[in-house]
Structure 1
Amino acid sequence: MARRSAHSPVPCTLLVLALACNGGDTDESTGASGTASTAGSTSTGTTATSSGASSGQGGSTAATATSGTATSTSATDTTGGTTTTGPKFDLGGGPDAPPPPACTTGKIPATCAEAEACPTSVGCRFYAVDLDQLDGGDDHPYAVAVSNVQSSSDVVVSVEQKMGGAWQVVAGPVTIPALDLHVFELPDLHQEGSGMKAGGAYRVTADAPVAAYQMNPLNIQAGIASSDATMLYPVTTWDDIYHVVGWEPYPHTAYVTVAAAVDGTTVQFETAAPVTAGPGVPASMPGDVFTVDLDEGDVVEIMTQTNGVTFTGTRISSDPDHPIAVFSGAECTFVLAYSCDHVETQLSGLRLWGKQFVAARVPPRTTPPETSVFQIYASEDGTTVTFDAPPEVTGLPAAPAALDAGEVLTLEVGGTAAVPGDFVVTADKPIAIANYMTGSSLAGSIGDPAMVQLPPVEQFLPRYVVLVPPSWNDDRLVLVRPADTGVTVDGTPVDPAAFVTAGAGFEVARIQVTDGVHVVEGDAPVGVVVVGVTSVDSYAYLGGVGAEVINPTPEG
């Protein structure tokens, strides 16, 4: 089953040998601001419906739509410490200036300079945001988990909070041994509903590259089974232009939260849904444009006025010297069926979007497998999306899909026990894809809604150090590889029989793993998603991702 809707409103990676990494450093000062201004509606929403038949690769499609616009220019990155705004690398720094580090294929960066030169999900500075939960869930421990990806050296990690305009250490410093992890349980810092919150983000810094994740809440909590988690992108990968992808939550509302890493950041919203007013946030209707001013560590949340409405298609921008982080989520939502669960993910900026994806579904919980939901979002008009999948896969369109900017194609994809519903998506223009676990009533009370934005094939990496959180009954790595590529987990080869075809020369495996840190390596670049389930609860997040600018001139 499919439905299409539209909504209004050159760094390098570890995979390539390149150096053209541009951006800015932060000017770390104190103070916070949260003013907002509004402009009249610049676009009008439209609604459309369509249908289409499908065969071995799909079912029928239906669509609804609204639209909007936003503008931006090139991406920029930031680093920790007290510095002044300027280029990331001064290549004209004189004969004694050391050259920027070179990218090394498959090598985990050993220094913060290497991580900045070749941005991936591994870095030295992150901002974690305690996102809005169910009222009961907000009281449970929020946590940031940091894994030391270094193979033979310790890292020192601290967590800070901005209080009274000054950063203060609230956890750490903690020394994390090589290939180990530390979980920081942190005080409640969420923004309830629409509003600007000064100092609303935690700053996580390390003296060598690490991977970081946030868990909301940390563990399965008595009295509330509403969890999700997200991989955190280091500041070196942030962008200044985003399109929002998210669910249409029920019985609660959707929200988008933005964090700033640089003082004097002006964030522009062109919203695709009615926005509830709050401190520093004006009430707005689809197509309205408004701005909110943030300083480093500040956050702003916008929340829909009613449930059943999505911010998908909302466009958020700043400027190249003031990159931002954008999180999409819902306090709690059904996905296709009961019951409700919290969902959240940190979105990638538009310059990281690609054109080829392996839509590897979250692990099935039933036999035959329950359907899994995918959203395919177009960033540009006239986008053609094609599908390749084994004949056992159901729910895909029989013909290529045509999408305009802001349109999203929602697919309910299934299959058989042996071929559960993975497929390959290719577009002629940059797109984003999100995958959702459905409600527990469709799966014998196992799991519940969870959300993850999938990486394009162009951002796959040959090596990951991933974290699996504690206390879940069933944790799995969803591994994507080019067919017949050797893949190991903790040095042990993954049985080739564990992989099933997804189409277009790619294969997917879902393997059970224990809690803790795991090393995934491929003979070629591969993809990794981490998923866990227990009774009526779940989480899903990227194990890691490249952050090469592969869409350098996005149509805002």
Structure 2
Amino acid sequence: MARVILSLVVLSTCICCLPAARDNKGTEFILTFLENLQRDRHNPKLFIACPHQSGATVTINTPSNGASTTVQVTYGQVKKVDVDRVAVELRGSVKSDKAVHVTSDVEIVVYGVFAESMSTDAFLALPTDVLGTEYFTPCASIRGYMPAEFGVVGVHDGTTVNIVPSQAVTFDGQNYAAGQAFSVGLSRFETLQIQATEDLTGSKIMATQPVAVLSGNMFTACGLPGSGDHVVGMIPPVDTWGKEFVTVPLTKHTAGDIFRVIAARDNTHVNITNENTKTLNAAEFSELDVPSDEYRHVASNKPILLVQYSKTGSIDQTETDPFMMVIPPVAQFEAEYTFATVDLISDQADTTHYVNLIIRSSNKAGLLLDGHRLPSDTVWHDVTGTDFAAAQVEISAGTHTVRHLSPNVNIGLFSYGFTYPESYGYPGGLRLSRIAASCSTTTPVPADRVDNDCDGRVDEELLNGIDDDGDGLIDEDLANSNCAGNRDQYRTCLQNRCRNLVP
């Protein structure tokens, strides 16, 4: 008994000393806003959600004009904060100082929302503790009218950013050919934006210290000529990319969705349902036009980035419009989400909001939306060749939570919405474990967001003396049980959680 008590004390001590989990929640964010074609004088916004019952005190600074504001964020609500457009929007292919600095006393979720008339998109912000030094950009000029673009934000003073554009660009008045490397020095809160009329997908960014990267297009149709939108996403660093993905079509569209697969390493083999194997070298990408009734599995031998694009509503005469959404790999799915919808400008009364959900088929029954089981009429679609199932669920405007009864069951969640001619889309959240970095085995601590056993998965075991993931090891990479860390008590704890469920 003394040994058990000592083990629990050691485990508790380890948990208390853990750094913040590697995911999209954080206490510091440094970001910016890429240029939006529409100039109807609408300010960009930050949408801030707090997953803590106690709420959060959040301070937003815009260094370029010295403005600062502090707000209180209440649990279960979205706090919307305008930021001055002139102070935060990047313009042209130049270096500037248009950063936004967000700090909080507890972990929060932050979205950047650039809602303009007929030109809206939003992105899930990534906190500074998960940013990296290597990126490849997934821009969008798919039948676009306006420049593809990407932006970089300095997080630390004395950072050198090395850029290899995939197309010819002009930056700060200097011309650079496709593939010609050049360097830019950034201090903390300094920014740069690069634009080109040709597609900048596959441009490489290497920095001497972590930076934030956003990528997209000033205004694009994403399909046949028709209505367009500003599209943008905040891009995860290469060391968090994965090797397995599931694609889910977007509600309302009938003419399919566009997906792009981007490689970070040479000789990357990509296998996709209903497609021939594709071999990509570093910075190369493959584009897919996936029908609206197909759910596909994507697997590779080396880390890749997957991005989904909503097409113009003109292509299938639907009340939709373009947006860009980073698709997290299966290994970076979360066990619990707090996320928010976006208010669109053109017709808020006619705006509809959705989530796409992905989960292993055997775990569907334990899924909870806002503490309740999913509606009984939810339609699940099996993903061919896998044990995953996916569903599209309409949700109300506001803040929502999704979780599973079991803490080691992970869920893919993508949030998006439409009103003609505007839209938005982003992942509801994701882990940002360094699953693509070199790995060495480490001592398991519950919910540390570390691949303790170097199997490409994170926190997949329960502390229960059972081989939950079937790899021959027991309790080697632990999820957060939300229960006592004692194997003998775990079953009783889990049963009590089930009894207390909201029906």
Q: Which amino acid aligns with 2:79?
A: H
RMSD between aligned residues: 2.0
User: How does the TM-score come out when normalised to structure 1?
Assistant: 0.71
Alignment of 1:500 onto 2:388: no
Q: CA–CA distance in 2 between the matches of 1:405 and 1:553?
A: 18
For the 8 Å contact 1:361–1:435, the answer to whether it is kept is no
Q: Which residue does 1:377 correspond to in 2?
A: 262
Corresponding residue pairs, total: 413
Alignment partner of 1:274 is 2:168: yes
One-letter identity of the residue aligned with 1:413 = V
CA contact (8 A) 1:474 1:532 kept: yes
**Does residue 487 in structure 1 map to residue 367 in structure 2?**
yes
1:495 CA drift (Å): 4.2
1:312 alignment counterpart: 201
Aligned equivalents of 1:313, 1:271: Cα separation in 2: 8
Contact 2:249 2:256 in 1 (8 A): no
Task: Answer whether contact 2:64 2:99 (CA < 8 A) is retained.
Answer: no
Q: Note if contact 1:384-1:427 (Cα within 8 Å) is conserved in structure 2.
A: yes
Q: Relative contact order (C-alpha < 8 Å, sep 6+): which is higher? A: 1
Aligned mates of 1:266, 1:510 — CA distance in 2: 43
Encode CA deviations 1:481-519: one digit per residue, 9 max, x unaligned: 111312110011124742211221111111111111101
- Asked if residue 463 in structure 1 is aligned to residue 336 in structure 2, the reply is yes
Check the 8 A contact 2:337/2:429 in 1, yes or no.
Answer: yes
SS at match of 1:351: helix
Counterpart for residue 426 of structure 1? 299
Aligned residue for 2:60? Answer: 159
Q: Quote how far apart the aligned CAs of 1:284 are.
A: 0.9
Of 85, 88, 94, the match for 1:195: 94
Whether the 8 Å contact between 1:100 and 1:117 is mirrored in structure 2 is no
1:186 positional shift? 1.1
Cα pair 1:481 1:525 within 8 Å, conserved: yes
1:336 aligns with 2:223: yes
Match of residue 207 from structure 1: 105
- Contact 1:251-1:332 within 8 A present in 2 as well: yes
Answer whether contact 1:158 1:169 (CA < 8 A) is retained: no
1:408 deviates by 1.1
Identity of aligned residues (%): 24
**Counterparts of 2:15 and 2:165 in 1: how far apart (Å)?**
40
Q: Could you say what secondary structure the match of 1:272 adopts?
A: coil
What's the CA shift for 1:101? Answer: 5.4
Q: Deviations over 1:54-107 (max 9, x none)?
A: xxxxxxxxxxxxxxxxxxxxxxxxxxxxxxxxxxxxxxxxxxxx998539xxxx
State the 1:469 CA deviation: 2.0
2 CA distance for matches of 1:356 and 1:538? 27
Equivalent residue, structure 2, for 1:148: 50
Partner of 1:54: none
Question: Which runs of structure 2 are paired with 1:118-133 in the superposition (5 Å)?
Answer: 118-133=21-36
| 8 Å CA contact 1:445, 1:536 repeated in 2 | no
Q: 1:271-313: CA deviations, max 9, x gaps?
A: 11111232xx632111111111111111100111x3xx11111
2: CA distance, partners of 1:181 / 1:101:
33
In the TM superposition, what are the counterparts of 1:34-183 in structure 2 within 5 Å? 102=15, 116-136=19-39, 139-150=41-52, 152-163=53-64, 168-171=66-69, 173-183=70-80
Residues 362 and 435, structure 1, Cα contact 8 Å, conserved in 2: no
Asked if the contact 1:102/1:117 (under 8 Å) is kept, the reply is: no
2:138 corresponds in structure 1 to 245
Structure 1 residue 551, shift from structure 2 partner: 0.7
Q: TM-score, normalised by structure 2?
A: 0.79
**Does the residue aligned with 2:95 lie in a helix, a strand or coil?**
strand
After superposition, the Cα gap between the structure-2 partners of 1:161 and 1:101, relative to the gap in structure 1 and judged at 3 Å, is farther
Secondary structure of the equivalent of 1:484? Answer: helix
The range that moved more, 439-448 or 450-459, is: 439-448
Query: Is 1:386 matched up with 2:274?
Result: no
Q: Which structure has the highest helix share of the two?
A: 2
**Is 2:209 the partner of 1:296?**
no
| Alpha-carbon contact 2:38-2:119 (below 8 Å) kept | no
Aligned-partner Cα distance in 1 for 2:251–2:48: 25
Shift of residue 349 of structure 1? Answer: 0.2
Alignment partner, residue 255 of structure 1: 149
Gaps of at least 5 residues in structure 2 are 1-10, 440-503
Please give the alpha-carbon distance, in whole angstroms, between the structure 2 residues aligned to 1:212 and 1:313. Answer: 26
